[in-house]
Amino acid sequence: ATSAVDGMEASRSSSLLPAALLMLLGLLLSRRACSSPPPDSVACARGTSDCTLANVYGSFPDRTACRAADAAFPRTEAELVVAVAAAAAAKRKVKAAPRHSHSFPKLACPGGRDGTIISTARLNRTVSIDAAQGLMTVEGGMVLRDLIRDAAAAGLALPHSPYWYGVSIGGLLATGAQGSSLWGKGSAVHEYVVGMRIVAPAPASQGFAVVRELGADHPDLDAAKVSLGVLGVVSQVRSDRVAESPMCMHACTVKSLTS
């Protein structure tokens, strides 16, 4: 009888061993697990020349790199105008690229090796908030996470949002990105945009670049909202109906809206 009990004990210990090892491994891994945002999408080999654009997945569908002759990193709308004008004067193809380029296709790539990338990573401020009206104006390179944070600080939230908080306002408008519910005007963020400032190329007589201000009643506003980035660089976006409600990080619907 004693040897039978010893045998059962031994077999129980041996069956517990793999589970204990698995738990130990899990503990070790969980201590090391951490998350960090992807690196900036634009990197240059020499100063602001010989640059590459990478999306957050690390590869494009055609499996080739996106290269550009140079890149600009404006911090203000005035610097953005200078960057667009310089590229237009040099007759270079230009595309805007946000801090973390999230589109799988090469939408933000100017094409060829002679183009110019304008990074909007540093155009990332909130310009103004009118909490009573549920209105926010932000720069085009601001990422969704920062917009949600600044809105929350003013007691506001976006009624709908695309699924990843690293996308930029300029980029998500350009692609018509949306959340997942039908409510209010629908789940596409651009439905809530009531004004934009775009820096567009212009003839030499206008200094090669102009700032176009499109208000709620401007006939070009709808076209400019979802433009795949081909009409100019979105400098500022004014959005209304930012709801008064707790903040939500994923595609979501909130119930109480300010009008």
Ligand X SMILES: Cc1cc2nc3c(=O)[nH]c(=O)nc-3n(C[C@H](O)[C@H](O)[C@H](O)COP(=O)(O)OP(=O)(O)OC[C@H]3O[C@@H](n4cnc5c(N)ncnc54)[C@H](O)[C@@H]3O)c2cc1C
Q: Which residues bind ligand X (CB under 6 A)?
A: 95-98, 101-103, 105, 107-108, 120, 140-141, 162-163, 167-168, 170-172, 174-178, 228-229, 233-234
Tokens of 203: 């003839």
CB of 31: closest distance to ligand X in angstroms?
Answer: 32
Tokens of 80: 């953005």
83 or 107, CB closer to ligand X? 107
131 or 228, CB closer to ligand X? 228
CB of 172: closest distance to ligand X in angstroms?
Answer: 3
CB of 75: closest distance to ligand X in angstroms?
Answer: 14
Tokens of 162: 């695309």
Burial annotation 73-105 (CB, 10 A radius, 16+ → b, else e): bbeebeebbbbbbbbbeeebebbbbbbbbbbee
60 or 208, CB closer to ligand X? 60
41 or 245, CB closer to ligand X? 41
253 or 258, CB closer to ligand X? 253
Please state whether beta strands 66-72 and 116-119 pair in parallel, antiparallel, or not at all (unpaired).
parallel
Tokens of 48: 């602001």
Tokens of 128: 């103004």
The vertex-43 CA angle with 41 and 47, nearest 5°, equals: 150
CB of 80: closest distance to ligand X in angstroms?
Answer: 9
CB of 186: closest distance to ligand X in angstroms?
Answer: 11
Cα separation, 205 vs 98, in Å, equals 30
DSSP state letters, 186-220: -SBGGGGEEEEEEEEE--GGGTTEEEEEE-TT-TT
CB of 175: closest distance to ligand X in angstroms?
Answer: 4
176 or 207, CB closer to ligand X? 176
